[in-house]
Copies of this chain bind each other. A is one copy, B any other.
Amino acid sequence: MPKISLPRYDDIVLAANRLEGFIKHTPVLTCSEIDEALGCEVFFKCENLQKSGAFKYRGASNALLSLSEQQRQTGVFTVSSGNHGAALGYAGARLGISVTVAVPYNAPAIKRNNIEASGASIVTIEPGMEARERFAAERAQTGETFIPPYDHPDIIAGQGTATLELLKQVEDLDTVVAPLGGGGLLAGACLAAQGLEVYGAEPMLANDGFESLRTGVRQPAKPPRSICDGLLTQLGEYNFEILKRHVSAVLVVEDKDTKAAMELIWQRLKIIIEPSSAITLAALKQERSRFAGKRVGIVLSGGNIAAEPSQPLKV
């Protein structure tokens, strides 16, 4: 691995300034029933209500706003089965930057549709790292800039603004909990919330992040399996370096608990979140004593899941 220059707290602050007026300041919700049930105070940072339906809009926008004029004119590309692709598409459309997204054919339909709706051009590829890397290598020949989904300082700094904003909205937080997939959101949280405890939550059958930290060596993504379709990617290099230095722990959660947490949030908070977001609340419930009496911010990462009434409406 080449020596890399890691982003720092100041980069998050710069990103927040750059993003002012471009992103949404998402609300923070609370629920007294959940607090009573868990024995702690939970502050839900609603990035599902962010433009494009996910926190990914922060990092994608920060990356695009940091390009040179020539890079903007040539355009950008990425590889994404979901929220990063749509976020990049929406941010690109707003800035007049051409965006191409390579999407594996097995991506969830709602996420593919969201990428299409953003105005991005879609190229369908095979699933897996090999096809991603082949596409990226070929596409780079066009001169377009590659905007990776998580393994990049500008992306991490952008995602960190979600936590920076949360800390401004809620006083005296003790802890931040964020989902762990590629590690952009969690690494950003670590940088933004230095001095606080920061936990990652990762699916039990997609726990390459946990294993990487345990062994000290970045682990390949075993063929991962989880309802958290946003958390199946391998932990990035930059992200790993930041987590090694700053994360308090990664909590590993079973899908059945994530599913129950998602249902609870839909029902009590009246917001639509995807499973990858709900894993944070499941982690809190699982590690009750760890969080007892604390003020815990959790980052609800996205809401791109199709929902409908349990009883169809007859009109």
Residues of A within 8 A of B (CB): 24, 27, 29-30, 32, 48-49, 51, 53, 227, 254-256, 258-259, 262-263, 266-267, 269-273, 275, 303, 305-311, 313-315
Find chain B residues with CB under 8 A from A263 CB: 308
B227 touches A315 (CB 8 A): yes
Known: A227-B314, A259-B313. 18 other contacts (CB 8 A): A24-B30, A32-B51, A49-B271, A53-B270, A255-B313, A255-B315, A256-B315, A258-B315, A259-B315, A263-B308, A267-B307, A270-B271, A270-B272, A272-B272, A306-B309, A307-B307, A307-B308, A308-B310
**Most chain B C-beta atoms within 10 Å of own C-beta, residue among A266, A269, A270, A303:** A270
Could you jot down 30 A-B contacts, CB within 8 Å? A24-B30, A27-B27, A27-B49, A29-B49, A32-B51, A49-B269, A49-B270, A49-B271, A53-B270, A255-B313, A255-B315, A258-B315, A259-B313, A259-B315, A263-B308, A266-B272, A266-B307, A267-B307, A270-B271, A270-B272, A270-B303, A271-B271, A271-B272, A305-B309, A306-B309, A306-B311, A307-B308, A307-B309, A308-B309, A308-B310
Q: How far is the CA of A262 from the CA of B32 in the complex (A)?
A: 27
Closest to A226 in B: B315
Find chain B residues with CB under 8 A from A49 CB: 27, 29, 269-271
**Most chain B C-beta atoms within 10 Å of own C-beta, residue among A255, A256, A266, A267:** A267
Q: How far is the CA of A27 from the CA of B275 in the complex (A)?
A: 23
Q: How far is the CA of A32 from the CA of B23 in the complex (A)?
A: 12
Q: How far is the CA of A227 from the CA of B313 in the complex (A)?
A: 7
